[in-house]
Amino acid sequence: MSLELSIPFNDNQLSALLDTAENSVALLILAHGSGAGKDHEFMAGYAQAVAELGISVLRFNFPYMDAGKKFPDKAPTTITAWQQVRNWAGQEAAAGLPVFTAGKSFGGRMASLAAAEGMETRGLVFLGYPLHAPKKEEKLRDEHLYPLEVPMLFLEGTKDPFANPEIMKAVAAKLPTASLAWFEGGNHSFKVARSGRTAAQDGAWLAPRTNEFIRSLLG
């Protein structure tokens, strides 16, 4: 069962949900994509599946999502949100556990930008990294990744229009701390045509690889 929480953000609050794992070995903070918040079926399916594998998950909304706005906040606001959620989690939710960070698409990219500005994390997990806009493969969102020394796991669908497989492989190859895992037939939401899976099951599909990555870094 998910515990509802409120996380201080400037003079306001961000809504959050905590899925606590039994005998948890780590805390994974999870941010949503640009179009759907922490309560989306995909987010819930992923978070709950990861928690069942022994890793607690804290998922939160960015300010614009809680405000009911359609368009995401600008990068400075979302980076600040990530930093404040990470700091709060370290004091209030982690209970001494190592803290990892993850995000669906936009949320993951913002986590990496926050890490580039010094946010502490044991590892970054990207659920469909938006390397480029569809059909705009000449404009990559990769420059800030190269200086990062933190371990990174890219979970990518083979039919994601936001991540050309050959370009994604080339970028990952230049990141010495990166791992890249492909999910056959998955689009940007890891939906596979005619699979019959729910969005929650699509999210849960990514949990085992996430668990392997995190546990590999715990020694």
> In the Cβ-directed half-sphere of 89, how many Cα atoms lie within 13 Å?
30
Q: Give the confidence band of 91 by pLDDT, cuts at 50, 70, 90.
A: confident
Q: What share of the chain is helix, strand, coil (3-state, %, to 5)?
A: 35, 20, 45
Per-residue confidence (pLDDT) for residue 20, from 0 to 100 = 93
- Residue 196, Cα to own-chain centre: how many angstroms? 24
* Closest C-alpha among 158, 50, 166, 43 to residue 106: 43
Average pLDDT score, the chain? 94
The domains located in the chain, with CATH, are: 3-216 (3.40.50.1820)
CA distance 1 to 17: 10
Average pLDDT over residues 72-92: 93
Q: What is the pLDDT of residues 127-154, one digit of tens each?
A: 999 999 998 999 999 999 999 999 999 9
Tell me the angle at which helices 106-116 and 75-92 cross, rounded to the nearest 10 degrees: 80
Q: Which amino acid is at 119?
A: M
Is the pTM for the entire model greater than 0.75? yes
Per-residue confidence (pLDDT) for residue 70, from 0 to 100 = 87
Tell me the angle at which helices 207-216 and 41-52 cross, rounded to the nearest 10 degrees: 50
Yes or no: say if 184 and 190 are a contact pair by the CB < 8 Å rule: no
Predicted confidence (pLDDT) at residue 1 exceeds the cutoff of 80: no
